[in-house]
Amino acid sequence: MSLALKQVFNKDRTFRPKRKFEPGTQRFDLHKKAQASLNAGLDLKQAVQLPHGEDLNDWVAVHVVDFFNRINLIYGTISDSCTDQSCPVMSGGPKYEYRWQDENKYKRPTALSAPKYMSLLMDWIEVQINNENIFPTNVGTPFPKTFMQVAKKILSRLFRVFVHVYIHHFDRVSQMGAEAHVNTCYKHFYYFVTEFNLTDHKELEPLKEMTSRMCH
């Protein structure tokens, strides 16, 4: 990553603290394996494929955390231009509005400003990935039956961050010279969720045209 990009994507601007894998764990080794494929310049379509002999749940867990960190960082870089005034509704253009719903305060889908939605989303994801009952960190501890369901929900909601950033803040991304970095991250995410069928096609609709240009 160039120096300019390193300054753009610095830790202080991360929207949330980075979640790390503990060295010595199987998850850490898998994370390193995934990173090595990317750093070797392997085609992204190949890089997302499940390595021989690895468990799919582990592979998905590693990527969910990694995408959370990266997308968190991308949103952090444009968050100063995403305000209650500029983005009173969390949306992806006039056709797509995203409402927030959770198990606590927002029992029904509720219209919120984009920054409020993002804040709740990142908090919610953090709670899921730090929950040992959902994302176990010890080798040998089985994943719960609901793991894939939770992973799909997290990834679908993270996709909405891409939608909002691309449709409403891409000029800011370009201004900072971060376009190539964000595009690579998007392609990596897209290939991963489609490889393992982790996001409903309906969710992918808002960026369909851009994706067909970028990913095929």
CA distance between the termini of the chain: 25
User: 36 — phi, psi (to 5°)?
Assistant: -60, -40
**pLDDT at residue number 75:** 94
**pLDDT at residue number 140:** 76
Q: What's the whole-number mean pLDDT along residues 3-25?
A: 50
Per-residue model confidence as pLDDT tens digits over 59-77: 999 999 999 999 999 999 8
18-22, 80-84, 162-166 — which is least confidently predicted? 18-22
Flag whether 168 is marked binding: no
Interatomic CA distance for residues 212 and 216, integer angstroms: 6
Give the pTM.
0.85
Domain 3-215 class, CATH top level: mainly alpha
Flag whether 215 is marked binding: no
**pLDDT at residue number 1:** 44
Task: Enumerate the domain spans of the chain.
Answer: 3-215
Interatomic CA distance for residues 216 and 203, integer angstroms: 18
- Which amino acid is it at 89? V
User: Residue 36 — pLDDT band, cuts 50, 70, 90?
Assistant: low
Flag whether 52 is marked binding: no
Flag whether 185 is marked binding: no
